[in-house]
Structure 1
Amino acid sequence: MKSCDVLGFQPSAVTIIEDGNLPDNPDIDWDPVVIAKYVEQQVRKHSINRIVTFDAYGVSGHRNHVSVFQAIQMLQRKSKKFKTEIEVLILKSESCFMKYLSIFSLPFIFICHLYTSSYIFLSSPLQVLRTQRAMVKHWSQLLWFRVLYILSSQYMFINNFHVLEE
């Protein structure tokens, strides 16, 4: 909640899910059907028309993240609403080398962008600082390698998305 507050989210826009079927563990696959149920509830509750999620690699191979992608992909295949009314943007996973080039990965991303249909989101310096503050507020997730991530990951500065197609 403290991270969401830094990012400007109202408490009523945040849902914390405590479900024993969804343990926070990078080595455990979540059931996409369970995730899809929660996603559908939030789409209805908040009239969501755009979802931003992970790709099939989950940015870092985190199996929980991969499961979220699989659930969104499943919803798009099964639900007419997801096919026609909800834009799904997929965050492109980068190689470890690219991930930690920080802002210096920008030329490479622009070159790749010329050959793909993707969207590039560039954070301003103020947005980067705000995101870093939000990450620091989430103490339970702040392991040593995430400090490195906060300081040097390209994802803090540049994000490359593509639209999930059927």
Structure 2
Amino acid sequence: MKRDVVVTSVAFAGAAVACSLVALRITRKIRTRTGLDPFAVPNGSSREKGADGRKAALVLTSHPDDESYFFAPTIQALKAANVETHLVCLSDGGAGGDGETRKKELLRVKELFELEGMCIVEAEDLMDGMTNAWPAKTVMTVLDEYTGGAPTTFDYVVTFDAGGVSGHLNHVCTYEGTKQWIEERKVSISSDRGGCPQVWVLETTNAARKLSGALDFATSYLESLIDSRRVFVPSASPMQVLKAVRLHASQFVWYRKIFVVFSRYTYMNTLRRID
């Protein structure tokens, strides 16, 4: 019986990866023709961002491993578009007393994705915990400090949406803080603050879609065609995503092993612009 389950899981994983590769090829062609890629720079345009002319993005997460389980396809897309990519994690994920271990694991993921910058915030009011509500003002302060305009001016901020993918309170508070931050920044924008970045949030889906793997490709892609503020981002390499989550060894327990195989976030992201 166990062998049948293992064989079925492996077969599904193989099929999901194959579907994802096909999806990647199709969407690359369509996104190039329609301009759906939010991170692409049109031919002949000028990138006046930083000394090397590259655009820059800030991926804001709540815990070490969020970037791998949820945001990996987006990070891959940013890197493929030659966008300078920074990761800010609002806690060390140390609710179980393993914060130091999780920080070291995240450093290894930084190297895997070749991120240009990373910061792990350690603040008393941003403690990891399912019931810990994080103050929006603290999240906003972190964003102010990291996006102050020097040495990097950010074009994009990517974070959770109001559902937080899993409904985790820390994820939801991360979104609420980011939402208030961009709203205030749009009102009080000034040239010395480096302008107003685009803010993209990772869409939460229902449980059936969340656990449908690459089979959610068609629905997600069609939604991106209907809504101009929504973008479909397929994973450039599901195998790299699997490698990334395995680097978080302290968290790679049996149910997360199952989740990463069946999760749509391994194979695709859907981003929605809120600024």
Question: TM-score with structure 2 length normalisation?
Answer: 0.55
Post-superposition offset of 1:112: 2.5
Q: Percent identity?
A: 21
1:42 counterpart residue number: 146
State which structure, 1 or 2, has the greater radius of gyration over its C-alpha atoms: 2
Which of 114, 123, 133 aligns to 2:243? It is 133
Deviation string 1:65-115 (CA, Å, 9 cap, x unpaired) is 111110111011111349x62000111101110011100011121232333
8 Å CA contact 2:130–2:168 kept in 1: the answer is yes
Deviation string 1:49-71 (CA, Å, 9 cap, x unpaired) is 20011110101101111111101
Q: The residue matched to 1:147 in structure 2 has which SS?
A: helix
1:57 counterpart residue number: 163
- Structure with higher RCO (Cα < 8 A, 6+ apart): 1
8 Å CA contact 1:92–1:160 kept in 2: the answer is yes
Post-superposition offset of 1:160: 0.7
The list of structure 1 runs, each at least 4 consecutive aligned residues, that deviate by more than 3 angstroms after superposition, is none
1:137 is matched by which residue type in structure 2? L
Post-superposition offset of 1:143: 3.8
**Gaps in structure 2 of 5+ consecutive residues:** 1-106
1:70 counterpart residue number: 176
8 Å CA contact 1:49–1:85 kept in 2: the answer is yes
Task: Tell me, yes or no, if structure 1 residue 115 matches structure 2 residue 219.
Answer: no
2:121 counterpart residue number: 17
1:104 counterpart residue number: 215
Q: The residue matched to 2:142 in structure 1 has which SS?
A: helix
1:104 and 1:141, CA in 2 relative to 1: closer, same or farther beyond 3 A? same
CA distance in 2 between counterparts of 1:61 and 1:143 reads 20
8 Å CA contact 1:51–1:86 kept in 2: the answer is yes
1:141 and 1:37, CA in 2 relative to 1: closer, same or farther beyond 3 A? farther
The aligned length equals: 160
**Gaps in structure 1 of 5+ consecutive residues:** none
Deviation string 1:101-152 (CA, Å, 9 cap, x unpaired) is 100011121232333221010112xx22112211111234334332222212
8 Å CA contact 1:43–1:49 kept in 2: the answer is no
1:122 and 1:42, CA in 2 relative to 1: closer, same or farther beyond 3 A? same
1:5 and 1:101, CA in 2 relative to 1: closer, same or farther beyond 3 A? same
Question: TM-score with structure 1 length normalisation?
Answer: 0.88
